[in-house]
A and B are shown apart, each in its own frame.
Chain A
Amino acid sequence: MDFFTDPLRYEFFQHGLIVATLVGALCGLMGVYIILRKMSYIGHGLSHSIFGGAVVAYVLNWNFYIGAGLWGFLSALLINATARRRNLGADAAIGIVTTASFALGVAIISKERTFTRNFEAALFGNILGVTRQDIAIIAAVFAAVLLAVFLGYRQLLFTTFDPEIARVYGVRTGWVDAAFALALAATVVVSMNIVGVTLIAAAIVIPPSTARLMTNSFGPLVVLSTLIGASIGAIGMFLSFEFDIASGAAIVLLGMAVFSVVFAVTGLQHWLQRRSHLGGAAAEGSERPRHAPVPVGLMAHDDH
């Protein structure tokens, strides 16, 4: 029990636990849409981009959340626009937009070396510096994203599944994408202080990837991923305290361990199912494959 009770005596840990749980849930929730849009790299890229925005905000003496958030929002919009309009693909668009922004941040830091240390927290995560204001902002972002996903669930699902056809059926995909970019930027900005720029991609991708191994249905996937993210965030904080390692690293390593276990267990289940299926088919003397191959002459045409 000491594992759970000891750290809770410290106020900084209580704050850290609250934000790690909220950030874990937030990353898990947003992560579902990110992996299904095949933009897993965006968390990594956007956090680097926002790092550039944070540096610019610092130089201009703006509030971190406003400066970094605005920068992230614009970066996400730019990535969406570049990826969709110029046939570049999301990966190339992310690579171009975010590294340029990160490079801008690095350039400013190298010029103004006085505030180098302030950005260590952004790079590697720092749970010690969490204030009540941080908690309030993270809670507000989580509540806003949750409400937006709840109210726009169907539009978001359709836009993620097939954005072009969603337009035909009356979904304003431009607005959905803009709202998604805003939510994503807010998620990355509020998560940066906890898991750090370098590890944020894992916090976004691991929970939905783990949940995806467990379900084939969209609704349960969203709920599972959010719960897994929150659990990993919370337990990762206790591990971070127990083993005296960086909070971001503890959260990501725990996430990876959970993913590995689920991967192994579900893999074993599939193997057993296949084995029993093949055994049953052999017993019946049937060798019919489960999926009939598509005759070459009937393949769909790729027309303009």
Chain B
Amino acid sequence: MSSHAIELKRATAAYDGSPVLSDVSLSIPAGHFAGIIGPSGAGKTTLLRVMLGLAPHVEGLVTVDGQRVRPDRPPQGVGYVPQVGTIDWTFPVSVENVVMMGIVRSASRLPWASRQERRRVAETLERLGLEGLGGRHIRDLSGGQQQRAFLARALIGNPRVLILDEPTASVDIKTRDDILHLLAELNRAGATIVMTTHELNSLAAHLPWVVCVNAGIVAQGPPSAVFNDVTMSKTFNAEMRVLVDDQTGALLVAEAGSHRPFSLTLDAPLPDVA
């Protein structure tokens, strides 16, 4: 069996005949923590969908956790956290209902949860700091709690591979840090983690492995190897500079300002701020 948790060989994905990703070859070793970066529309989410068997037209070879993935044949043992923007928040489900969905494959045939299933849900919620919130409607949680509720759904089945689509979008800095610490902990426990993100400096630069995507793979490797002017500019279709913080040694990606200057002017005078 391959030591790679995720492997794509010359994969091409298309929607309605239009290719979104072309000739993608990618190997993520088991136990890695990889971030996928790229501009909007670059194909980051499509790349995740290819790994999950959700992309409709895929050519090439896709293997996840040793299983051959084809459209409409998702791999087993994989947890997935979609973008929260895709969730129907008016749907009448509680947090417990949502988390329970994560074990739908192994759950009993009865409509109601067994005592053991309830205990499992309670333990997962507690692990994510959501204890006591199982009975709440999903809309009644804060943004960070909602994100963690869907993370709980992904984790309750103890997945070997965890795939997340912008798990830190729409959350505050503290919640983002909490989520990343939790993911790091899961990664240390052996889970392979792949996530997309738009946050370059605060997140991607601190990951052990980064995949740069722009209709294909532009580069992949540790941030020290891929965070450079050429790769970043090619990935984001804009002039980018990578700087090194003198004090911390951290990598910082910045726009080089080649685009049209942007500023706002106000007609009305600004109010006095006490």
Known: A154-B100, A162-B87, A167-B74. A303 touches B92 (CB 8 A): no
Known: A158-B101, A171-B104, A303-B44. A165 touches B143 (CB 8 A): no
Q: Is A157 positioned at the interface, with any CB of B under 8 Å from its CB?
A: yes
Is the beta-carbon distance between B53 and A167 smaller than 8 angstroms? Answer: yes
Give 4 new A-B contacts, CB below 8 A, not counting A169-B105, A170-B74.
A162-B82, A217-B93, A303-B40, A303-B45
B97 CB to closest chain A CB (Å) equals 6
B113 CB to closest chain A CB (Å) equals 9
Select from chain A the residue with minimum beta-carbon distance to B150.
A165
| Binding site secondary structure of chain A | helix
Most buried by A among B40, B74, B85, B157: B74
Q: Mark B34-72, 1 if CB is under 8 A from A, else 0.
A: 000000111111100000111000000000000000001
| Size bin of chain A's contact surface | 35 or more
Is the beta-carbon distance between B53 and A154 smaller than 8 angstroms? Answer: no
Known: A164-B54, A168-B74. A301 touches B97 (CB 8 A): no
Known: A154-B107, A158-B101, A304-B20. A212 touches B170 (CB 8 A): no
Contact for B101 among A36, A161, A217, A298, CB less than 8 A: A161
Q: When chains A and B are docked, how far (Å) is the Cα of A171 from the Cα of B53?
A: 13
Q: Is A299 positioned at the interface, with any CB of B under 8 Å from its CB?
A: yes
Select from chain B the residue with minimum beta-carbon distance to A215.
B92
Q: Is A271 positioned at the interface, with any CB of B under 8 Å from its CB?
A: no
B267 CB to closest chain A CB (Å) equals 21
Instruction: Mark out the residues of chain B between 1 and 59 whose CB falls within 8 Å of any chain A CB in the assembled complex.
Output: 15-16, 20, 40-46, 52-54
Is the beta-carbon distance between A170 and B111 smaller than 8 angstroms? Answer: no
Q: Is B78 positioned at the interface, with any CB of A under 8 Å from its CB?
A: yes
Interface residues of B (CB under 8 A from A): 15-16, 20, 40-46, 52-54, 72, 74, 76, 78, 80, 82-88, 91-94, 97-98, 100-102, 104-105, 107, 109-112, 137, 143, 157, 166, 169-171, 196, 198
Most buried by B among A150, A168, A171, A218: A168
Is the beta-carbon distance between B76 and A170 smaller than 8 angstroms? Answer: yes
Is the beta-carbon distance between A168 and B54 smaller than 8 angstroms? Answer: yes
Is the beta-carbon distance between A304 and B92 smaller than 8 angstroms? Answer: no
Contacts of B101 in A (CB 8 A): 154, 157-158, 161, 165-166, 169
Q: Is A201 positioned at the interface, with any CB of B under 8 Å from its CB?
A: no
Q: Is A153 positioned at the interface, with any CB of B under 8 Å from its CB?
A: yes
Most buried by A among B101, B107, B169: B101
A289 CB to closest chain B CB (Å) equals 13
Instruction: Mark out the residues of chain A between 210 and 235 whose CB falls within 8 Å of any chain B CB in the assembled complex.
Output: 212, 215-219, 221
Q: Is A1 positioned at the interface, with any CB of B under 8 Å from its CB?
A: no
Select from chain B the residue with minimum beta-carbon distance to A169.
B104
Is the beta-carbon distance between A153 and B169 smaller than 8 angstroms? Answer: no
Q: Is A287 positioned at the interface, with any CB of B under 8 Å from its CB?
A: no
Is the beta-carbon distance between B54 and A302 smaller than 8 angstroms? Answer: no
Contacts of B44 in A (CB 8 A): 303-304
